Chains A and B, each alone.
Chain A
Amino acid sequence: MKRKPIILQILNNDLGGKIVLGVLALVVIYVSFANLVLPAGSTFHISTYTVTLLGKYLAFALLALALDLVWGYIGILSLGHGAFFALGGYAMGMYLMRQIGDRGVYGNPELPDFMVFMNLKELPWFWYGFDNPIFTLIMIMFVPGLLAFVFGYLAFRSRVTGVYLSIITQAMTYALMLAFFRNDMGFGGNNGLTDFKDILGFDLQADGTRIALLLISFLALTGGYLVARFIMNSRLGRVCIAIRDGESRTRFIGYRVEQYKLFIFVVSACMAGIAGALYVPQVGIINPGVFSPLFSIELVIWVAIGGRGTLYGAIVGAFIVNYASTYFTSALPEVWLYALGGLFVVVTLFLPKGVVGLISQIKDKLNKDNKNQESEVQNATA
């Protein structure tokens, strides 16, 4: 018997995941084609702006996926996942900053503009190594992972759970936001890092680079999804769900709950870091606003709207809310906060399982009706 490819093995019994990833793959391929091949005058041509937007959504989807891993499968409602995203983003931003070289306004080959502006004479120690892409790639995962490890170790060891954990994670991202807003932190203060020129030698403004980033984002999202799905299909995943549904019971059976939680939390943080690193070159800026509690909570609503605990639901939610956000903030900026606030209320009250849950609910209902009809028919014939 021929073995199935590993991707399909992981996606076995995951119709939603197959559909969402499949649709995204088609969209990404079509967009790349329409942007690169079709001439700019053609009605089917897709602008670089749209490509960038799609790339941003993909990065956000990866972030939502990371949150769903901890919230949906092990019951940790992190209100500070934006912090891991931002740290990954800052690591990437530092690399891109170093790539500018002497093309900055001040033309200093060693120091980024904002440091010259702040009268710094030499590079702070934590900037060393960020001119190396391999080192940066490691840091993108290592820094958020380390923070998650230290934070998670302290929090889970002392059995901070539920609401308390949520509030502390919120405090964590709030503290980081305050710190990163400081100009003397060496991360550009409230302006953040921006004015990037190129990445790995490719011009960031070029269409080709944009498409490449889009494709990489899609691959990262797919990879993240497969990793998450793989974990959840394994024995480890089943323990996680056991912890989510009955932490004390699982502990009582003999599982080291803290270690499972810590592992998932760190994996999720690394994933969020990668999402941040993909977000920054496409959007062209990273600033402390990403650390704000508002962003992290908004992120929770992406997952809640899509459907918590389904993985692909998180992706769907991220796309829905961010598309709505893009639309409203340009068309009806006054309405956006009302709409977002309303979404929070409506989803928690009426859509506890999100959009994805709604679809399966409708399907269940239809099935039930069909069965009822069938049984009525059977009764009638009997």
Chain B
Amino acid sequence: MKKSNLIKIIFLNLFFLTSLFASFETDIEALKTKSFKKKQQVINELVEKYSDDERTETLLKKMVDGDLFYTKKEGTFVILEKKEGSTYHTKTFLEGKVLEPQNKKEFNKVKTNNGLRSVIKSNLAQMNLFSKKKEVRLKSAKNILSNVDEDSKELINKALSKEKDSDVKEVLLEAKTIILAKYSSGEEQLQAVKDLSDFISSDTLATLKNLYSKEDISSELKKAVKSSISTVETIRSYYGVLEKAFFGLSMGSVLLLAAIGLAITFGVMKVINMAHGEMMMIGAYTTYTLQQVMPGLIEYSILVAIPAAFIVSGIVGIIIERLVIRHLYGRPLETLLATFGISLILQQIVRTIYSPLNQEVKTPDWMSGAWEINSALSLTYNRLYIIIFALLVFIGVLMVLNKTSLGLKVRAVTQNRQMAQAMGIKTSWIDAMTFGIGSGIAGIAGVALSQLTNVGPNLGQAYIVDSFMVVVFGGVGNLWGTLIGAITLGEINKFIEPVAGAVLAKVIILVFIILFIQKKPRGLFPQKGRDAQD
């Protein structure tokens, strides 16, 4: 064996050993160099070696922002948190320990220039695209998709060869096809344009439309572009309809929540509760108050608010029933006037306590954001939860009325008050409970509403006419009618709205209901039987 070879082996082994001992902590020391060229090299090495280390990303980001320093004395890397004149508030990069505020002379900045910054940025993009976390990769891929340029072609190809997740692959593929359609020529471009008809994002559509408006393209390509555009638009409009249906469903759910309570008080007890909207308002203000009381627990406050709103509104309802409505049974027009007066008083009370201004109720994190099904269809979580919630409440009320002894008594009192009394049912207690439950459900509706709109003294007014429309449309005294009525009106509204505008949509619906009552004066599901006329 030659001596030189032996030295080489020893040297290689030594190198291997040093690399074995090398770590992120020691490697970043090299960043202290003054040469930008050297720094660029170091950064590329760091990314190569520690792309999965979260610290790499933080380090690079801080460096781009110019917030990365090291102390002159110990040479530890620190991150600038806050500047006060020439005093720097910092914390160590590796341990995250907060340091005493010191004068800026104590620190050296890890300087960057434009060239270095662009290197770092492209490295960051790459790192994300090859991250182990799927969400990070997906986000990065989407980012690339929304600003495609020819340079990212290589990166995309590299990522595609490694990518296993189908969602990320889909996005990358779309980005690649868009690049091909935009920047290639001839047969390749034609094929890419044809392939684009499989994708539905707005970026694809924009690319195709852009191509179509160009004048110097061949007629064959133009034809392909046109057919792809029509395919994409058809699919997108299909998803558009789905999205509208979803919005309609969520609006219907809000109406359902508002109208269930009304269906109970109006349909079952024959009481026109004009203060029903104010019961919703009370529920919404309960949510607001709870958030003020427990500011650190926004995530949970809404869960607490549901029973709380039910109880608060329910108790207010029972008080109203005992004080006023009890004297007015059998005189629906009088209950209308009296409860209208109550609604004015309740509104004014809220104005006095909380101010006449709208209050903002915070949305917990788990309710914000959207569920992206594909690039043309995403459903917001708050609406999704409200749909589910409304259905749960509906099923709950149905269960209470049909399966519990309270429900049985309520129905008994509804059908024949004297007979029920003779059977030993405390009718006045049942009346109070029924009204309380109806009001309590309105309170729950208020919790849901507080997540969609601002909470103010006029909150209830905006929904009272709509809720009555739902009950009248669906047929009084029938919960299923209320369900179908609410969803139908919600859907009609959302489908007319884009064509006619929000206000006209409401007007059209009111006219529609007035005409509908011509055919079915007692709603979709009229009460049948002997006492239905009264």
Report A's interface with B, CB cutoff 8 A.
77, 151, 154-155, 157-160, 162-164, 166-168, 170-172, 174-175, 178-179, 181-182, 293-294, 297, 300-301, 304, 334, 337-338, 340-345, 347-349, 352
Contacts and interface: CB of A to CB of B under 8 A. Distances in A.
Given A167-B468, A345-B342, A301 B336 contact: no
Contact of B510 (A171, A182, A297): A171
Interface string B327-341: 110001110111011
Contacts of B514: 151, 154-155, 168, 171-172
A345 B465 CA distance: 21
A174 B511 CA distance: 11
18 contacts: A77-B336, A154-B518, A158-B517, A160-B521, A166-B336, A170-B465, A170-B468, A171-B469, A174-B465, A178-B507, A294-B461, A301-B337, A337-B348, A338-B348, A344-B338, A345-B324, A345-B341, A348-B328
Given A166-B272, A297-B337, 16 more contacts: A163-B272, A163-B332, A163-B333, A164-B521, A166-B336, A167-B472, A168-B513, A172-B510, A172-B514, A179-B503, A300-B337, A337-B347, A340-B344, A345-B324, A348-B334, A349-B324
A162 B338 contact: no
Nearest to B338: A348
Contacts of A343: 341
Nearest to B518: A158
A349 B328 contact: yes
Contacts of A294: 461
Give the 6 A-B CB pairs with smallest separation, nearest first: A344-B341, A341-B344, A341-B345, A337-B348, A175-B510, A341-B341
B503 A181 contact: yes
B352 interface: yes
Main secondary structure of the interface of A (DSSP, over half): helix
A172 to B, nearest CB: 7
Contact of B515 (A154, A337, A344): A154
B385 to A, nearest CB: 29
Contact of B337 (A170, A293, A347): A347
A344 B344 CA distance: 9
A309 to B, nearest CB: 13
B344 A337 contact: yes
B506 interface: yes
Nearest to B272: A163
Contacts of A182: 503-504
B343 interface: yes
Interface string B91-125: 00000000000000000000000000000000000
Given A171-B469, A178-B503, A344 B337 contact: yes
A211 B334 CA distance: 39
A73 to B, nearest CB: 15
Nearest to A346: B341
Interface in B488-534: 503-504, 506-507, 510-511, 513-515, 517-519, 521
Contacts of B511: 175
B352 A77 contact: no
Contacts of B345: 337-338, 341-342, 345
A213 to B, nearest CB: 31
B507 A341 contact: no
A151 B507 CA distance: 15
B20 to A, nearest CB: 76
Interface in B334-368: 334, 336-338, 340-345, 347-348, 351-352
B138 to A, nearest CB: 43
A160 B23 CA distance: 84
Nearest to B336: A166
Nearest to B266: A163
B325 to A, nearest CB: 10
Contacts of A166: 272, 333, 336
Contacts of A293: 465
Nearest to B522: A164
B134 to A, nearest CB: 48
A18 B472 CA distance: 43
Contact of B333 (A162, A334, A349): A162
Contacts of A338: 344-345, 348
Contacts of B347: 337
A291 to B, nearest CB: 12
B340 A297 contact: yes
Contacts of A337: 344-345, 347-348, 351
A166 B328 CA distance: 17
Nearest to B327: A349
Contacts of A301: 337, 341
A345 B472 contact: no
Contacts of B503: 178-179, 181-182
A342 B465 contact: no
B263 to A, nearest CB: 13
A151 B513 CA distance: 12
Contacts of A340: 341, 344
Contacts of B348: 334, 337-338, 341
A112 B518 CA distance: 40
A315 B282 CA distance: 36
Contacts of B510: 171-172, 174-175
Among A293, A301, A348, the one with the most B-chain Cβ atoms within 10 Å of its Cβ is A348
Contacts of A170: 465, 468
A208 B401 CA distance: 67
B340 A344 contact: yes
B338 A168 contact: no
A9 B338 CA distance: 38
Nearest to B347: A337
B357 to A, nearest CB: 15
Contacts of A179: 503-504, 507
Contacts of A341: 340-345, 348
Given A174-B465, A338-B348, A159 B521 contact: yes
A348 B337 contact: yes
A154 B510 CA distance: 14
Contacts of B506: 175, 178
Nearest to A71: B333
Most buried by B among A294, A301, A345, A352: A345
A175 B328 contact: no
A255 to B, nearest CB: 19
Contacts of B336: 77, 163, 166
